[in-house]
Amino acid sequence: MQFLTVVIRRSLYAFLLLLAVIVFNYTLLSMVPGDIAETIAGESGGASAELMAEIRRSYGLDQPFYVQLFGYVGRVLQGDLGSSYYFNVPVLDLILGRLGPTLLLVITALLLAIFTGTLFGVIAAQRPNGIFSHFITILALIGFSAPVFWTAFLLIILFVSMVQIMPLSGLADPLTESGTWQWYLDVAHHLILPVVSLSSIYLAQYSRLARASMMDILGSDYIRTARAKGLGQRVIIYKHALRNAVIPVITIAGLQFSHIFSGAVVIETVFSWPGLGTLAFESILRGDTPTIMGILFFSAFVVIVFNLLTDLAYRIVDPRIRHSGTA
């Protein structure tokens, strides 16, 4: 019951936050220099004064700002994100069409970072002065300081141009028929470099985090209790310690989902991955405001929902939070 109250209250907060994001985005983008009517007119090839006026009227650009704002918020709440000035199709359709590849990239990268990072950390924590532990420290330093696009280019140089075992860009080879098992394999092949580059930062962070929290936990009283019970090392590590050690990793991973989304914009652009990031990047170059706003709204939506889910997942893993109504 208490859990349900928390879910409802959190969802309400999330909704209000989302509303604020829409208003903020719209205000910010309307302050960007450049005339939207000119962009639209430019796409249709002519720019007479009548045409400009006509465009302004039909897109509502002649209305006062607050009318435009309320109109936009109202339409968004009804699920209408407007139409792209460039493609002239509904922004929502555009986003949904690009969503799959982005989610595939982001979620694979996040899961890879969480699982490998935790595993690395757990192994390193058992021999804090061993070679593997030092390797983790160095890996973390590199992963943390290297910008993702730089990592991506290094990987391209290494595995595309020098060793030539990885494809350069795209989702799959255009000649492979979509839907066949060869196509799935090809997508997986194309996925490797973007995922590795994107997860490098997070992998480094999570392995360091997991190492630190694991070392802390291995010295705790309840691990001593577990030893005094006669449990073996494996059960102590993977039952008693791991579940406690994974709590901070889950928290951080949830909070960082927004970072990983923005990282995806860069990675998608580098690898021409046909996802939301590439769409966002190109829309900015094209001055396609409704699409940009749509993507901003959508990513805010995803981030907020994800934070909500993290919070709930956290409650399931950690009974101390599960039973407290607040927090």
Question: CB 221 → another protein: shortest distance, Å?
Answer: 4
Residue 90, φ and ψ in degrees, nearest 5: -55, 135
Question: CB 234 → another protein: shortest distance, Å?
Answer: 11
Give the long-range contacts of residues 180-186, CB within 8 A, separation 24 or more: none
> Residue 55 and residue 24: Cα distance in Å, rounded?
25
Question: CB 215 → another protein: shortest distance, Å?
Answer: 14
Question: CB 255 → another protein: shortest distance, Å?
Answer: 21
Q: How many CB atoms lie within 10 A of CB 318?
A: 16
Is the Cβ of residue 134 or residue 243 nearer to another protein in the bound state?
243
Nearest Cα to Cα of residue 157 among 270, 66, 31: 270
Is the Cβ of residue 220 or residue 262 nearer to another protein in the bound state?
220
DSSP count for the chain of H helices, then E strands: 15, 0
Question: CB 198 → another protein: shortest distance, Å?
Answer: 30
Q: Dig out the tokens for 196 from the structure.
A: 């590795």
Residue 83, φ and ψ in degrees, nearest 5: -115, 150
Question: CB 249 → another protein: shortest distance, Å?
Answer: 14
Is the Cβ of residue 218 or residue 295 nearer to another protein in the bound state?
218
CA distances from 242 to 34, 45, 218, 320 (A): 54, 62, 10, 16
> Residue 99 and residue 89: Cα distance in Å, rounded?
16
Is the Cβ of residue 109 or residue 245 nearer to another protein in the bound state?
245
Question: CB 243 → another protein: shortest distance, Å?
Answer: 5
Is the Cβ of residue 176 or residue 244 nearer to another protein in the bound state?
244
Is the Cβ of residue 50 or residue 221 nearer to another protein in the bound state?
221
> Residue 102 and residue 125: Cα distance in Å, rounded?
34
Q: Dig out the tokens for 179 from the structure.
A: 């839907």
* Residues lying near another protein in the complex (CB under 8 A): 220-222, 224-232, 240, 243-244, 317-320, 323
Question: CB 246 → another protein: shortest distance, Å?
Answer: 10
- Answer whether 300's CB lies under 8 Å from 21's CB: yes
Is the Cβ of residue 128 or residue 147 nearer to another protein in the bound state?
128
DSSP H/E element including 276: helix 276-286
CA distances from 165 to 57, 108, 159, 327 (A): 54, 20, 6, 49
Question: Which residues, 6 or more positions from 207, have their beta carbon under 8 angstroms from its beta carbon?
Answer: 116, 117, 118, 120, 121, 124, 136, 139, 140
Is the Cβ of residue 39 or residue 244 nearer to another protein in the bound state?
244
